[in-house]
Amino acid sequence: MKKIILNILATTGISLVALALVATCYDTTLICIDTVFQVLGINVIIYIGLYFMDFVEYRYPILETGLKLTYVIILVLLGGWMWGWYSNLPGVVLILMTIGIFVVCVCLDTISLLSEVKSINVLLEGEGQRADCE
């Protein structure tokens, strides 16, 4: 649960930074506070769905990633429609932002996973050395 909350907050932060960069390109000077909570809300919904998608075993990793990306894009587009984001941001830009944020999050998850694997390997090596001593 702690990891999911951390991921939600990290993704929200990354989303807001990406949104600020895109807003700068459009010469926008502010992001409404409503948008911050909307982005947080959509990220909570995304991670709830991704949590349940993890229970399904996929035969091909690329299929799993594609389904997750499609799910995220659909939710973001629905959120854009519900909250009127299209009046300030074209849908194509919203899709490109979503893909960019998704790629960043996948890379961060991979780095985190590699760190966990290294920690497990260190623990296993310690267990192996202890077994040799006995």
Eight-state DSSP code of residue 87 = G
The model's confidence at residue 30, banded by pLDDT at 50, 70 and 90, is confident
Residue 128 has pLDDT above 70, yes or no: no
Q: Which amino acid is at 95?
A: I
Closest C-alpha to 9, from 58, 44, 56: 44
Cα angle 10, 105, 78; round to 5: 85
Maximum distance among all Cα pairs of the chain, rounded to whole angstroms:
70
Q: What is the pLDDT of residues 52-73, one digit of tens each?
A: 998 998 889 899 999 999 999 9
Q: How far apart are the first and last CA of the chain?
A: 38
Q: How far apart are CA 60 and CA 97, in angstroms?
A: 25
- DSSP reduced 3-state for 34: helix
Q: What is the pLDDT of residues 84-103, one digit of tens each?
A: 999 888 999 999 999 999 99
Determine the pLDDT at residue 131.
56
Token pair for 127: 């267990």
Token pair for 128: 């192996």
The model's confidence at residue 134, banded by pLDDT at 50, 70 and 90, is low
Determine the pLDDT at residue 89.
87
Mean pLDDT of the chain: 90
Q: How far apart are CA 78 and CA 85, in angstroms?
A: 10
